[in-house]
């Protein structure tokens, strides 16, 4: 399992991934889920992967050699001469389909699902940064202002904070902090996601990774972030009033449920002495 998140803002892109691939009582492995492709002054691309490790590693290599044809000239296009991130995403999709056609039957015979997904983003000179999510069928979708982030892997625990915070106008530092909080929530709730973490921040028009960090258990900033986030959540929770069972909206909703004008039998009348908690 894994957890990867990528965020697109007006200022650039943020990529974050864990490094755990297997989790069990005596079988824990770590492999990097992120790879960068750079050509100074021309293009920057980051690929994050989730799914079967042998499949994703092969696709990483195919991505640099796999070709599609230009629709007008018939000339081969790779990620190194693609004129747009859309073309580069098409090449990634073609690599996924190529591997499925080549190895899919044999994998099925071995009882292995062709289970992969990717986050692929970057910038090619002449256009703005773009971000895509690529599926196991090789199809993909692109991030928009309405959906400025993508997640793959064990994403449910880290999604609420992203939904509440991420917006196109968010500064890159704030986006990176939000990604780390999202990862911390996932680490807290799921043992199949583990450290170290890889964090890349890309500033628009830089055409190289602006900041690259490998974050381990001993990272002072991440330790402080985890501690502060937990304490602030608890503080806010304690400050919220408890339900008022005697008056107010909570009582009104209970009265509505128990109203003789509804088809629902009153809960107090349904409960027998044996049902009561002692």
Half-sphere exposure of 180 (CA within 13 A, CB side): 26
Number of domains in the chain: 1
What pLDDT was estimated at residue 163?
96
Enter the tokens of residue 240: 């919220």
Phi-psi region of 234 (alpha: psi -120 to 50; beta: other; left: phi over 0): alpha
Q: Is residue 196 in some structural domain?
A: yes
Show the DSSP H helices in the chain as ranges: 53-65, 85-109, 159-165, 172-189, 220-239, 249-257, 267-270
Q: Is residue 239 in some structural domain?
A: no
Q: Is residue 268 in some structural domain?
A: no
Q: Which domain holds residue 229?
A: 3-234
Cis peptide leading into 196, omega within 30 of 0?
A: yes
Give residue-wise pLDDT tens across range 109-127. Answer: 888 889 899 999 999 999 9
Q: Which residue has the tokens 């199809």?
A: 139
Q: Is residue 247 in some structural domain?
A: no
Closest CA to 92 of 136, 53, 124, 123: 136
Considering the entire predicted model, what is its pTM? 0.84
What pLDDT was estimated at residue 25?
45
SS3 content of the chain, % helix, strand, coil (to 5): 35, 25, 40
Label residue 2 by pLDDT band (50, 70, 90).
confident
- Stretch 99-117: mean pLDDT: 89
The domain that contains 168 carries what CATH number? 3.60.20.10
In the chain, count of helices (H) and strands (E)? 7, 14
Q: Is residue 75 in some structural domain?
A: yes
């Amino acid at each position: 399992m894994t957890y990867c998140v990528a965020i697109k803002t007006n200022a650039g892109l943020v990529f974050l991934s864990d490094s755990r691939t297997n989790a069990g009582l005596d079988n824990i492995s770590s492999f990097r889920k992120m790879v960068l492709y750079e050509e100074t002054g021309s293009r920057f691309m980051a690929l994050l992967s989730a799914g079967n490790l042998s499949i994703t590693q092969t696709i990483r290599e195919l991505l640099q050699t796999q070709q599609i044809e230009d629709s007008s000239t018939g000339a081969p296009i790779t990620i190194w001469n693609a004129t747009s991130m859309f073309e580069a995403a098409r090449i990634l999709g073609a690599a996924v389909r190529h591997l499925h056609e080549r190895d899919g039957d044999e994998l099925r015979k071995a009882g292995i699902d062709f289970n992969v997904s990717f986050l692929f983003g970057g910038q090619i000179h002449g256009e703005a940064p773009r971000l895509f999510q690529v599926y196991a069928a090789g199809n993909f979708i692109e991030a928009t202002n309405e959906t400025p982030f993508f997640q793959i892997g064990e994403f449910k625990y880290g999604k609420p904070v992203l939904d509440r915070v991420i917006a196109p106008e968010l500064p890159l530092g704030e986006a990176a902090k939000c990604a780390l909080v999202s990862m911390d929530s996932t680490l807290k709730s799921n043992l199949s996601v583990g450290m170290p973490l890889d964090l890349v921040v890309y500033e628009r028009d830089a055409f190289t990774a602006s900041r690259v960090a490998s974050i381990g258990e001993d990272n002072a900033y991440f330790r402080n972030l985890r501690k502060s986030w937990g304490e602030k959540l608890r503080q806010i929770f304690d400050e919220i009033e408890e339900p008022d069972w005697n008056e107010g909206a909570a009582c009104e909703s209970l009265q509505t449920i128990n109203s003789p004008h509804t088809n629902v039998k009153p809960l107090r009348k349904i409960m027998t002495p044996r049902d009561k908690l002692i």
